[in-house]
Amino acid sequence: MTWFFLGITATHAFPGSIVTSLINYLFSGFQTHKWKLNKAFDQSLNFIWQEVRSKLHNIPSSESVIATGDKIEARKLNKLDSEYWLFVRITELITAGVNVADKDLIDWKLSELDEQRDIINDRLQPLKKRYYSLLSTIQDVWHSCYAVFTLEAIRREKGFKIIEKILTDLLIAYIAQEPSKENIQEMLEVLDEKLTKNPRLKTLYQTSRLLNWVYSYIGNLSTDVDEDPIYKDYPVRARHGKNCYHLPNGCSQYPRVEKPEHREKILFFKTSQEAKAQNLDLCGSCKRILKLE
């Protein structure tokens, strides 16, 4: 309803076909189970999640729109923005209805959608003010009022306090240590664990992305380490005292035996099943890399 009233004046602002499709999937569960609410609701959520997951991989990106700076680009970007907004909201709403195995995928996809929408908005805003000035003004006023009535400022302040606490803890734990590849890897691993527990803290997600980007360049500058052949039989690794394990798939936090003393800080496994048997979970970076492959 919000997007209907705010976007109706812009050409193709609201993706009606997507909404129609999702509504059809929603009611399919009730038709199948003849309005037995418990079964119907579960079935509908399953249908609707399958539809959203399919569309998540097929929605276009801002790069598919030629940067012309004209009204046609503004219209296309505005449609893209509405589709991304709608998918973020729908995915958030149905999160409670999917199984636990899909939870990490949902959180990661929401972060990806938010990041892509930021890119779209960066290109859209100046065009919207030029070609849809009235719409832009109405939306700005509405968003300001909406933020007040929904106590958005309070939620953001709470989120920033959590982020400040996480960064302060990292600062206390690592700033006094000698900077090294191993210490940086460990710090990024701890940050990734915090991000897994707070997946919708956008600023924390962006901070993690930037730090991993910087570290990937630093890591490429260093020469590859020739480990003792005995370690090649144990590709799955974890650090003592941590609750996650890593795969040799390009993860920036993968533990390497660069010095003899590193051996004592690393747990070695031949398979992922061995690591899971020790109540270890796959690290967030490895999960994201696997999803991209």
What is the rounded distance in angstroms from the CA atom of residue 13 to the CA atom of residue 7?
Answer: 5
pLDDT at position 224 is 55
Are residues 124 and 71 in contact, defined by beta-carbon separation less than 8 angstroms? Answer: no
Residues 6+ apart with CB under 8 A from 11: 75, 78
pLDDT at position 12 is 47
Tokens, residue 27: 């009611």
Q: What is the pLDDT of residues 264-288, one digit of tens each?
A: 888 889 888 999 888 888 887 787 7
Name residues of the chain where pLDDT drops below 50. 12, 223
